[in-house]
Structure 1
């Protein structure tokens, strides 16, 4: 692993990397490089980093704690607590990404205790829906943020306070924090993006606004913190949940049924590797990416963070090396007529134009910001506003396409996220749906 990490980081402009593995009572931590190219601070086992969307598993855990207390019910309408939201959305839909909320790039810039209330206040007015609640599956940042606000209303406490008191403390996440103001007191990594001169450039934005806290915008901690949280779920909920609630999180409750997306329990993405089920979530932050994976049958918890987006592929390679068997893409017969897939598809602030070119699909993705504030935050998160070049996709099965030139015999790790599938009037890329508009 150490050799793999070193070679990948040096070749792919990843300044620093930290990994933690727990298995069978033994914990191993590996580190490489620097946490910040500007300061030269080393990446160590005590370096904090943004959890990103790994926080969604914590948000889900918090909701299920309230379900156990009887404060919330999985099958009650969210609008009973948050008037103004679509009445068909149930609490369950927020946790298994079936709410249909179209807000993946919605970034209200608000801070402080009222941030989530401001997000939910603006959501119905500024964002639409991709499908009726429960009809399809689309990875939803907006759904998890609404779940965070639901927790605040149901308990009368702020989301950061709930996270610290009901997750960090009982799980033993001793060095985790809920804000940059806390994290700055300890060594903390910052993100980077590839530089045109071959030298990584540091991000100009450390974290997303407080409005994104429950989806992964603000929580920060170390590999030891995430290993402690993962072990709680390894141990049937440990000090956080009942065994029944932990089992519900790892039981399939939504599945789009295509190889480019994993089935979803409650919060967790569920991937099958032979006879092994892996509970996982990756977490992007401005110029960085974290991962948490739990394999109960192997008594295994895997945590890693790299301070450049391209580290996602390294996460996958290292994790797959710990698993006994990995699925591969199976190419099957497909329709020769590709015209039904052509058209224009939209989701929050993105337009995708699809046309048939020489037996393949050519897609052009265009970012159309709603306002200057949205553009500033998204481009800071992505490392700048850059044109998305047209991409060519070849058919590999009914409604399933792979990037032209992608080796099709690769294990379905990172490759899974590169595939595109079509489901009636919807296009699915990276687990996120866009809807055909013409």
Structure 2
């Protein structure tokens, strides 16, 4: 009696525990479904969800939600019986019909396809290869695009004939690997028609739809004769408006898609797979068995199903035209999740995350309204609004705010793409806020200039260690690899063949790591002694990797014609884009020759050489004292005299740093000469000698001397700025030349607004879209959907550079706000502290 009592107590305890666990699971699911419901509502309010979500347990619906319209032309509302194009979720139905035929002895999986389709030209491909995506067939889309006329509709028979006629090469040998292939499932559709002895629509209706009593499930395709029931029409959202995105001319095929079904019917279908209503359990089991490859390895795909968690999760996704679909079967807990959407939507991912207990990651939007949009293409400004989604531009046009969406009122000012500084040295001492850069409206700096720079992996490590507010892209410097191979003291000669070979190997590595290409600073001693052959060999390496070439050419004064001929020759031989850095004429006797030089560049372009330039808007440069001796004869009095008469104005040229005697910094060369009671030429030679002596005593010191040299004529500067193939750059850094803080705003204020040198739209194009084109940057430099949300809001009436010699770090005015990757990094002349900048790699 006591043992029976004990048995009853234990049984009651176990039942209680199981009941408590079941209640806990039920409560947990209820909480998650509540989160799902509110999340779908939010997504719908933000135009990110138009569709149906259904969740069921043990075949019983625990959650169903339909939001949006079935037809944007009629605004007919969606419901759970609305029939969506299942896209690739259709494949499981094709597989089922093949299994039915196999079970009835009508076909065998391992028979060659041409057994059933005699025109099929590949002898080794079997039905099984088609079912599990191991055939090696190419996608039919490319064939259709290449060989169909613009009004032709592709059909199953037509696709088979394209394969028969053109026999495109296989991507791999059948069974060698798994690669998703829509072509295979269209062929399965043809096999069903041929072996089944009737149109596939009829077979589908007789052997799946009717046995399961499905109400809103059918095959429908482009130019189909059938009349669909409750059909949902595909669409997509474009710039705030819904536009049709439905069946297209290749949608005359059946197999990889074009099965339509409602969420309600899909649940019936799902539940039938737990029974033998359609096929035997033993037959179905193979559909959920991972495919075995020729190597013996397996891949988690069966017949029309992805297999996860050892078979406890069976799923498939679909995506075609305006439809995104998902079905998941959690076998162990008999749970079903169905997501059917039209229009762009991440509802499938979000639903899966929430039901797995993860916090949903929702796209964040923000709206910038009341702006004059200058989009970076050179087109005229227009009134518009711009919506951002995470780090990208989502929509441009007449837009209204979503509920609770953050809105920035542009107050009628200009919104432009963030400026791209194609030649920058701001990486020297780059601070997290990047204030000199973003305060000009610059969102991307391109470093590794003049032959210098940092290896790509080191640059990436640096940005990971200390994030910054601005994007960074980099060339690989010729002098950098030269020094690594030849040593710091071995640069004053031409390189030996084995040294060039080692440089080429290093450059290939950098290009592989995402460098934009090769940069040279041939006027500087570290590269001056290289010959053309060395530079061309390295440039060819960059060209072979689809890189680019940018150069501080070998001379900007005495030998400028020869230097320009060299870069043109590099472009001619390598056939890659080449760019002249900070184009200028720095020889007094050649002032006024800009038109002749530009004609020389245009002649090269007419020959097919893609030569361009960048330019900063100042008539004084910044470099080392040593560049004032083009023959590198630093003790030659005649050369020093030539320099002060032809290469720079000692009365207006300022020594910005001089480690050997810091008191000289900020003084002109003429000022220093007077202090020393010398002529300017003698002082120039003395300063070079003193800097060299300091360098020998302090071999680890950097930036020992630097001069801002007044040596250009403003009319030439203007001509270079307006050349259609010139972009704007700063060539600036944190200290020294005012260009580091004001190059871009100087163009917008002085040359655009005040002097009317070019329209504002043209100037911005030169700072954005054209710069991105010259650099090969993708999805940057233009305000358009899908492009990165690097933006600047500016007031064209007040934009102005304020940095001057003696106050070179004064911030510009008129730059009202700057976004990098959708995050506000600058507002009201202050950095916000956000640091979303990334290292941009060549694609």
TM-score, scaled relative to structure 1 = 0.67
Given candidates 218, 228, 249, the residue that maps to 2:287 is 249
Instruction: Report SS of the residue matched to 2:336.
Output: strand
* Counterpart for residue 317 of structure 1: 350
CA contact (8 A) 2:54 2:263 kept: yes
Runs of at least 5 residues in structure 1 that lack an aligned partner in the other structure: 327-335, 337-354, 365-388, 393-404, 406-438
The 1-side partners of 2:302 and 2:52 are apart by 28
The 2-side partners of 1:92 and 1:14 are apart by 38
Instruction: Report SS of the residue matched to 1:71.
Output: coil
- Going from structure 1 to structure 2, the CA distance change for 1:212 and 1:144 (only over 3 Å counts) comes to same
1:20 equivalenced with 2:54 (yes/no): yes
* Counterpart for residue 169 of structure 2: 128
* Counterpart for residue 139 of structure 2: 103
Cα displacement (A) at 1:80: 1.6
* Counterpart for residue 234 of structure 2: 191
Given candidates 224, 233, 238, the residue that maps to 2:264 is 224
Instruction: Report SS of the residue matched to 2:337.
Output: strand
**Counterparts in 2 of 1:14-413, with a 5 A limit?**
14=48, 16-27=50-61, 28-83=63-118, 84-105=120-141, 106-107=143-144, 109-110=152-153, 115-126=155-166, 127-179=168-220, 186-196=229-239, 198-203=240-245, 205-206=246-247, 209=250, 211-216=252-257, 218-233=258-273, 235-236=274-275, 238-254=276-292, 263-272=300-309, 277-308=312-343, 310-311=344-345, 313-323=346-356, 357=511, 359-360=513-514, 390=778
Runs of at least 5 residues in structure 2 that lack an aligned partner in the other structure: 1-35, 360-456, 458-508, 517-544, 547-776, 781-820, 822-843
* Counterpart for residue 3 of structure 1: 38
CA contact (8 A) 1:49 1:305 kept: yes
* Counterpart for residue 433 of structure 1: none
The 2-side partners of 1:29 and 1:256 are apart by 43
- Residues 338-358 of structure 1, C-alpha deviations (whole Å, 9 max, x = no match): xxxxxxxxxxxxxxxxx9757
The 2-side partners of 1:3 and 1:119 are apart by 45
- Going from structure 1 to structure 2, the CA distance change for 1:85 and 1:191 (only over 3 Å counts) comes to same
Cα displacement (A) at 1:202: 2.6
- Going from structure 1 to structure 2, the CA distance change for 1:64 and 1:36 (only over 3 Å counts) comes to same
CA contact (8 A) 1:14 1:307 kept: no
The 2-side partners of 1:306 and 1:300 are apart by 20
Cα displacement (A) at 1:184: 5.2
- Going from structure 1 to structure 2, the CA distance change for 1:276 and 1:136 (only over 3 Å counts) comes to closer
Instruction: Report SS of the residue matched to 1:220.
Output: strand
The 2-side partners of 1:162 and 1:96 are apart by 22
The 2-side partners of 1:33 and 1:163 are apart by 29
CA contact (8 A) 2:236 2:243 kept: yes
Cα displacement (A) at 1:182: 7.8
* Counterpart for residue 396 of structure 1: none
Cα displacement (A) at 1:35: 2.1
CA contact (8 A) 2:71 2:232 kept: yes
Cα displacement (A) at 1:102: 0.2
CA contact (8 A) 2:175 2:294 kept: no
- Residues 268-297 of structure 1, C-alpha deviations (whole Å, 9 max, x = no match): 11122xx77321112223211121221211
Cα displacement (A) at 1:60: 0.5
Cα displacement (A) at 1:23: 0.8
Cα displacement (A) at 1:322: 2.5
CA contact (8 A) 2:85 2:259 kept: yes
The 1-side partners of 2:356 and 2:158 are apart by 43
CA contact (8 A) 1:34 1:43 kept: yes
The 1-side partners of 2:510 and 2:205 are apart by 51
- Residues 102-161 of structure 1, C-alpha deviations (whole Å, 9 max, x = no match): 0242446447xxx32222122233433111111111111100111111122222211111
Cα displacement (A) at 1:208: 5.8
The 1-side partners of 2:177 and 2:165 are apart by 23
The 2-side partners of 1:220 and 1:160 are apart by 11
Structure number having the greater helix percentage: 2
The 2-side partners of 1:87 and 1:292 are apart by 34
Larger Rg: 2
Relative CO higher for 1 or 2, CA cutoff 8 Å, sep ≥ 6?
Answer: 1
Please, what is the CA RMSD of the aligned residues? 3.3
- Going from structure 1 to structure 2, the CA distance change for 1:161 and 1:95 (only over 3 Å counts) comes to same
- Residues 1-44 of structure 1, C-alpha deviations (whole Å, 9 max, x = no match): 22111212333x33621112221242132111222333221111
Cα displacement (A) at 1:206: 3.4
* Counterpart for residue 424 of structure 1: none
- Going from structure 1 to structure 2, the CA distance change for 1:34 and 1:357 (only over 3 Å counts) comes to farther
- Going from structure 1 to structure 2, the CA distance change for 1:32 and 1:262 (only over 3 Å counts) comes to farther
* Counterpart for residue 351 of structure 1: none
CA contact (8 A) 1:179 1:219 kept: yes
The 2-side partners of 1:325 and 1:270 are apart by 21
The 1-side partners of 2:321 and 2:40 are apart by 21
Instruction: Report SS of the residue matched to 1:99.
Output: coil
Instruction: Report SS of the residue matched to 1:194.
Output: strand
TM-score, scaled relative to structure 2 = 0.36
* Counterpart for residue 813 of structure 2: none
